[in-house]
Homo-oligomer: A and B are copies of this chain.
Amino acid sequence: MSKLVIVGTVAFDAIETPFGKTDKILGGAATYIGLAASHFNIDAAAVSVVGGDFPQKYLDLLSNRNIDISGIEIVKDGKTFFWSGRYHNDMNSRDTLVTELNTLENFNPVVPENYRDAEIVMLGNLHPIVQSSVLDQMVTKPKLVILDTMNFWMDIALNDLHNVMKRVDVITINDEEARQLTGEYSLVVAARKIQTMGPKYVVIKKGEHGALLFHNDAMFYAPALPLEEVFDPTGAGDTFAGGFAGYIAKTGDTSFENMKKAVIYGSTLASFSVEKFGTERMESLKSEDVHNRLLQFKQLTQFDINLS
C-alpha cells in the first residue's frame, strides 16, 4: 500500500439539473477524489483550503473515512470557494452560474510533513502553478503523479500547464480538452501528442461514452455503465480520478495492466456518483455495491472469442 496525497478544491456547490436543485452542498475536486479513493482504505491526505464558513461536519466526513485533513487550511475570516451550475436536459453540457473563488484565490497548498514522501500524488484540477508547488514540496520523487486539468487553464495559463505536465506521469482530461490541447481531432493522435508533452499515460474521459487509457502504442477502453438516469454529473470526473488513484495507491502497482483495472474502478465509482445530487451517493456507498457493479462491468465488456 502506498500513501496518497490529494490536492484540489474543497468547496460549496449549488447545482440545478432537470431533476431539481440544491442549496449550497459539499463539493470540490479533492472532496470527490477523496471520497472515491477512501473506498480502498488507504492512507490518504487532502490538501486544500476552506473558509470559516465551512461546516465541521464536512471535514469530519472526510476524516471519518481515514483521510488526513491536516493539510486543509481553514481561513477563519475567509469564505469557502463556491461554484454554482445548471445542467442542460441532455446532462452533457452545463452553464456556470456563479464562481466565487474566495479563499481559493490565495491558496498556498502545504503538504503535511508526514505525506511529503507519499508514493502517489493526485493533482486535482487547480491552477497549474498551484499544482507545481505541491510537487516542489515532495522530499522523495513520487512513484506516480496524476494530473487532472481543464480547458480553462489551457485558455489562461497554457505555459504553466505545459510546465507542470512535464513533471507528471498520468494526465486525465476530457475529449474536447485533449483536442484543444493538441489541435488534433483523432483521440489516438491527440493522446500520442500529449505523451510528448510529459505524461507517459493519458486518460481521456468521454463522459457517458467512457474513458480511454493510452500508453505508447497500447490502448485500453473502459465504458461508462449505461444508466437509466443520470441524476447529477457533478464530480463524476473527479470520482473517476479518485478511484483510479486510490486503486493504484492500494496496490502500489503502476504497470499498464494494473492501470487498466484502475480505470475500471474509476468508471465503476463514477457510475455511482451520478446517481444522486452531489456527494450523497458516494457517502452511502458500500463495498458490496462496488463489487456488484464491477460484476456488471465484467458482463458488459467481457467476451470469449478464442483467438489461437
- Mark A residues whose CB is within 8 Å of B: 89-90, 185-189, 206, 209-210, 212, 218-221, 223, 226-230, 257, 260-261, 264-265, 291, 294-295, 298-305, 307
User: Closest CB of chain B to A213's CB: distance in Å?
Assistant: 10
Chain B residues with Cβ below 8 Å from A229 are 186, 189
Chain B residues with Cβ below 8 Å from A206 are 209
The one of B186, B226, B257, B303 that contacts A264, using a Cβ cutoff of 8 Å: B303
Distance between Cα atoms of A187 and B230 in the complex (Å): 11
Contacting pair A221 B187 (CB below 8 A)? no
Chain B residues with Cβ below 8 Å from A90 are 185
Contacting pair A261 B228 (CB below 8 A)? no
Chain B residues with Cβ below 8 Å from A230 are 186
Chain B residues with Cβ below 8 Å from A210 are 209, 223
Given contacts A219-B300, A221-B301, A299-B219, contact A185 B307 (CB under 8 A): no
User: Closest CB of chain B to A230's CB: distance in Å?
Assistant: 8
Distance between Cα atoms of A264 and B212 in the complex (Å): 18
Contacting pair B264 A291 (CB below 8 A)? no
Apart from the given pairs A90-B185, A188-B228, 11 other A-B contacts in the complex at a CB distance below 8 Å: A89-B185, A186-B230, A187-B226, A212-B226, A218-B299, A219-B226, A220-B299, A220-B300, A260-B303, A261-B304, A261-B305
